[in-house]
Structure 1
Amino acid sequence: MMSIQPIDGWRFFVKSGKMDCVVDLEHGKCDCCVYAVEKILCSHVIAAGTYAGMHVSTLVCPVYSKLNFFAGYSENIYPCDGEQVEARTCFLLEEKCDLAR
């Protein structure tokens, strides 16, 4: 269980069982350092962003965005020189991936 107290428009004090943190949504910082170092949302940032009425996807580092994910697979990927490639038949999935939306 977490409790969130606003400090100002962008900063929040998030009190949790393991660690209490100040979250700065404007500068992408949290006292636990997960958000700043790994660029992955920690539970404190998710709680503060949700409390502030922000959609969590707007807080994700652009490196981890759907556009970058799909751009990485938009072109053919070829094996390295000398690498053995096993011949296989690939079938398309019948259901569309939720990420494509």
Structure 2
Amino acid sequence: MMAMALIFAAVAAQAPAPNQRVSQAEIERFVWQVKSCWNILPDDINSGLSVTLLIDLNRDGSVTGNEIGEAVESAAGLRIARAAVRAVEQCAPYTFSAETYHEWKHLELELRP
């Protein structure tokens, strides 16, 4: 089973209003959506490798930027990273609350098979 961690990057462009945070349900929905499109080879599932993606989203949930932030420099690491990038692109658009756009417009997503 694939494990994922979502880390929200700080955004200086807009100061968050008090109590405006992305809900746990939104985070889980985002992770589930990406995970449903992430296709990796059976040999890579237990590799112990991970990839960190840097993702930028528009207000409508479409992807404007999606790049590998960190990955193991090996054939398997690159395969996993490229598959993760494709998954983010293929599963868009994503749904978050408009009021918390400042929290989710720049995301850092760590994926582990």
Same fold (TM over 0.5): no
TM-score with structure 1 setting the length? 0.23
TM-score, normalised by the number of residues in structure 2: 0.21
Bigger share in strand? 2
Q: Which has the larger radius of gyration?
A: 1
